[in-house]
Amino acid sequence: MQLTDLTAVQLLDGYRKGEFSPVEATGQALERARRIQPEVNAFVRLTEQDALARARESAERWRRGEPMGLLDGVPVTVKDLLLMRGHPTLRGSKTLSEQGSWAEDAPSVARLREHGAVFLGKTTSPEFGWKGVTDCPLTGVTRNPHDPSRTAGGSSGGSAAAVALGAGPLSLGTDGGGSIRIPAAFCGIFGLKPTYGRVPIYPASPFGTLSHTGPMTRDAADAALLLDVVAGPDARDWSGLPPAPGSFTEGLRGGVRGLRVAYSPSLGGQVAVQPAVAAAVRRAVASLAGLGAYVEESDPDFSDPVEAFHTLWFSGAARLTQRFSPHRRQLLDPGLREICTQGARMSALDYLAAVDVRMDLGRRMGRFHERYDLLVTPTVPVAAFEAGVEVPRGSAHRRWTGWTPFTYPFNLTQQPAATVPVGTDGDGLPVGMQLVAARHRDDLVLRAAHALYESGAALAPRPPSR
């Protein structure tokens, strides 16, 4: 049996029944990770000895019938923006040193450790997670599992590639402007950006309250299970939310019958969507209607907030590198260095004007969700393009935000948003559909996504065997 093909829920069921052990699952996941690494480059480092030690401890607990927590023995990966005790977190940058004790876990990583998860390793990110593709001066280019000449997306590209190829069914990603949803869509997996504060963050992101931490998984049931583990307050995050009112796993039941769904194919004509992407999303929207949702084509009331997003994003990057020496600055990704220069020219008044746009956008979406439970859009208007570039060749856009107009608005508003795989384009590349709900309604996003998986409408293409 290929345990790398199983979800976390299926692995746990097998452990419970004694059909296989965490040692077997971890061994197969590590073997898969080693095999895919030369071609896809999903990992910064594998933590093999630690993983096998934790797997043996887990196997003994399962043998005694005393599992440690909800994820005991499940292989997981962690994006290399999140602290993991005992291992360097270099954030894709040559400006950071491996020296140090690395004695602290990020809150979400600490929760995984408490629940017995097995850490396979750290996954790749662009430098400090600054862009929507995954390449950086430190680790090079991360490639798409379905076609290695294409990008995996970013900034959680290594996590998406690892999950898609069976190197652990669960990964923790981060999302400041689409960084969970973009690579999940490009790689054909599920990705959830929870409501801001639902998963605590420490250290604080240089991009402030735009950045979220969330699950990247094979399906919505695994994401709900992972969110049950990592959600909840942590004293180190002053902006974190109180505990969720109930279990996200329990909340998967109920389907979509009666939900009011707004389908916006192009945000009111503001976005040019590739025809094959639009067609796949349209079919999935029809599936929601077939499952009993009330679907209406309707656009949210906002114009593209990209300039406000750039002000917040670029100034955050400038603050991050403010004290870098000229030599250290020269080590940066040239694109990151460029936006840092732009951000350093912005004033406090520019920043506050962007905050005004953000607050107005949040108000508009709050009113929109008085009428609709869910907003549905394409996740990304294009399929995965050439690896190693920030924008598709021939694009009129200079920055990654030019081809991600469906994702970053909902970082500004802090709403929960997920991507569900809904088929492929003409080249066999995955297409994602985005589900967005009002703040604090992560349960609705997960429930609708789960209904699509249960009905077979969430179509997750299998990458070629490696």
Q: Which two tokens stand for residue 222?
A: 């695994």
What is each CA distance from 176 to 129, 194, 298, in whole angstroms? 8, 11, 26
Beta strand pairing call for 43-46 and 118-123: antiparallel
Report, as residue numbers or ranges, the catalytic residues.
Answer: 79, 155, 179
CB atoms under 10 Å from CB of 323, counted, come to 7
The three state secondary structure string of the chain is CCHHHCCHHHHHHHHHHCCCCHHHHHHHHHHHHHHHHHHHCCEEEECHHHHHHHHHHHHHHHHHCCCCCCCCCCEEEEECCCCECCECCCCCCCCCCCCCCCCCCCHHHHHHHHCCCEEEEEECCCHHHCCCCCEECCCEECEECCEEEEECCCCCHHHHHHHHCCCCCEEEEEECCCCCHHHHHHHCCEEEECCCCCCCCCCCCCCHHHCEEEEEECCHHHHHHHHHHHCCCCCCCCCCCCCCCCCCCHHHCCCCCCCEEEECCCCCCCCCCCHHHHHHHHHHHHHHHHCCCEEEECCCCCCCCHHHHHHHHHHHHHHHCCCCCHHHHHCCCHHHHHHHHHHHCCCHHHHHHHHHHHHHHHHHHHHHHHHCCEEEEECCCCCCCECCCCCCCCCCCCCHHHHCCCCCHHHHCCCCEEEEEEEECCCCCEEEEEEEECCCCHHHHHHHHHHHHHHCCCECCCCCCC
